[in-house]
Amino acid sequence: MTRAEAVNPAARAPVNKVYFMQNSQSSDAIIIGAGFSGLYLLHKLRELGLSVVVFERGGDVGGTWYWNRYPGARCDIESTWYSYSFSPELEREWKWSQRYAKQEEILAYAGHVADRFALRPFIRFNTRVDGAHFDERAQEWVVQTDVGATHRAPLLFAATGPLSDSNVPPLPGLNTFAGEIHHTGAWPHQAVDFAGKRVGIVGTGSSGVQTIPMVARQAAQTFVFQRTPQFVLPAEHREVSEEESARIRSDYAQLRTLQRSAPTGFWANPGPHRFFDVSSEERAEELERRWKNGGFAFLQAFTDMLTNEKANVEASAFVKRKICDAVNDPEIAARLTPTFALGARRPVLGDRYYETFNQTNVTLVDLKQEPIVGLTTDGLSTSQHHFPLDAIVFATGFDALTGAILKLNLKGRDGITIQDAWADGPKNTLGFMVHGFPNFFMLAGPGSPAVRGCVITSTEQQVDWLADCVAHMRRHRLATIESTAQSDQAWVETVNEAAGTTLTSTVDSWYLGSNIPGKPKVFMPYSGGFGVYRDICDNVARGGYERFTFSKAPAAAPAEQAAPSC
């Protein structure tokens, strides 16, 4: 008996032809991506009785956790929240060992889910989708993969991940460097040995902040090339004891209610007071308490800390003092200190990040003072120095939210390409659909709230909504669904309005696409909060899927005209 069969008797049943035919080139639905959203979508569509095939470019399930194997990789949301909520049995049986799960543990969890719900037989691994067009006559998507096969299905879902298209800056001389080059988002499966080496790390976002202390422990010399300093809050990693794990698992029903009530999709103990409604001593005490406990709860110490400018200045000053305390050299501390408001960019959780810069083998290079001019065979040059290196790590992030979808090379109705449709930015309705692309659905993409908090919480809601929509179409014999041009435009405006109420629209970041040269600068994720988004989606469904148009499936041929069977 396989592991899957041991945990789930359903896995012992023969693969049902209603769902999937191994050699068939067509199915009811195609899902691109077997990360967390793709896996749950596959499970839901199978429950509806659809035949589904999933194409996954990686060799296993897990999406971002399959690719991001760099040293120190972990989730910055606590494992209690960063997990599926759709199955109480799954919640009871899976034990997280750490407060913030490491990449290996999250990958193991994704594998467990795939086995437990018998999902693997429907996934074609190591298969990249290179193109897809909508065949209007057949009302089907025709999908091409890099293994040469063509597959057809009426429904096409991009579960391609919001942060999956790695951004390697096109630096002059990139191909001439003779040493090793790695990107954090496409890390080798074998451990990379940096012992005794001179290593350059470009980028100080979440991935850089997690990688840098780990590399600095091993490498002879570590050069950190920083373009924008971040607010790095202490994570305070720790093991989860047996008792704590048992308590969490037995309390999940209440915990999920709390989680769904949070605008970010995870619960971070929001404080009840406004910043200036308590004394300065009480404020300092509360900030200190939350700093010591670690995590994003620090940002929720007071209700208006990220919206009231004066409160934000004080809270930012608190963190800046912590940077000065942690870093011995005041000049280095100053270079590590952000100049934007706390919360204007998604803060980063770190583990003794600032202290790493006290190590004598670590050098901070400020790219604002001396930009990179290019790579040579033996290293990296800035406008002022040349740094001989044995290895370069690009922790330079992703072409977020749109990169992976654009690479699908979609052609919709009348031959319109997704590149044309999104020339001025990713227009869409509710983050789900794009006008001109019938029956093509997105998860965790532009217009969705996923990256503004816990991606799993968000995509579970999105999958549930989409599954209901598919069930509605089948019930009413509807062949296609498509968003209208007006509703796409209206959603872009809603996304912009919601962004305008936050600090995050005020500074450059990947939310705006400003990390990718030439990308339209448009605020992409929906920032109005998970609960508000859920209500909007539910109202649209209750209103008979207003904002979308449907076409009817052709009536079934009368029995006497049916083709004779052999």
**Contact characters 486-525, ligand NA7, x per CB under 6 A:** ------------------------x----x----------
Tokens of 376: 């040579």
Return the beta strands (E) in 367-415 as ranges. 372-376, 379-382, 386-388, 391-394, 410-411
Question: Degrees (nearest 5) of the Cα angle 391, 397, 398?
Answer: 125
Q: Which of 164, 167, 163, 103 is nearest to 129 (CA)?
A: 164
Residue 346 near ligand NA7 by CB under 6 A? yes
Residue 367 near ligand NA7 by CB under 6 A? yes
Q: Which whole-number Å values give the CA distances from 195 to 191, 192, 355, in the listed order?
A: 12, 9, 20
Residue 373 near ligand NA7 by CB under 6 A? no
Residue 412 near ligand NA7 by CB under 6 A? no
Residue 397 near ligand NA7 by CB under 6 A? yes
Q: For the CB of residue 348, give the shortest distance to ligand NA7 in the complex, in Å.
A: 7
Residue 208 near ligand NA7 by CB under 6 A? yes
Q: Which of 498, 526, 522 is nearest to 512 (CA)?
A: 522
Q: Name every residue whose Cβ is closer than 8 Å to that of residue 332 and which is 6 or more positions away in sequence.
A: 357, 364
Residue 458 near ligand NA7 by CB under 6 A? no
Q: For the CB of residue 409, give the shortest distance to ligand NA7 in the complex, in Å.
A: 24
End-to-end, the C-alpha distance of the chain in Å comes to 39
Q: For the CB of residue 227, give the shortest distance to ligand NA7 in the complex, in Å.
A: 3
Three-state DSSP class for 151? strand
**Contact characters 227-246, ligand NA7, x per CB under 6 A:** xx------------------
Residue 204 near ligand NA7 by CB under 6 A? yes
Contact (Cβ atoms closer than 8 angstroms) between residue 107 and residue 98:
no
Q: Cβ closer to ligand NA7: 85 or 206?
A: 206
Q: Label residue 180 left, alpha or beta by phi (over 0 means left) and psi (-120 to 50 means alpha).
A: beta
Residue 205 near ligand NA7 by CB under 6 A? yes
Binder of ligand NA7 out of 73, 77, 90, 202 (CB under 6 A): 202
Q: For the CB of residue 401, give the shortest distance to ligand NA7 in the complex, in Å.
A: 11
Residue 57 near ligand NA7 by CB under 6 A? no
Residue 363 has phi, psi (to 5 degrees) of -125, 130
Q: For the CB of residue 511, give the shortest distance to ligand NA7 in the complex, in Å.
A: 9
Question: Degrees (nearest 5) of the Cα angle 558, 561, 563?
Answer: 120
Question: Degrees (nearest 5) of the Cα angle 457, 462, 465?
Answer: 130
Q: For the CB of residue 195, give the shortest distance to ligand NA7 in the complex, in Å.
A: 24
Residue nearest to ligand NA7 according to CB distances in the complex: 205
Q: For the CB of residue 217, give the shortest distance to ligand NA7 in the complex, in Å.
A: 19
Size of the site for ligand NA7 (CB under 6 A): 20
Residue 396 near ligand NA7 by CB under 6 A? yes
Interface positions with ligand NA7 (CB under 6 A): 163, 169, 184, 202-208, 227-228, 346, 367, 372, 395-397, 510, 515
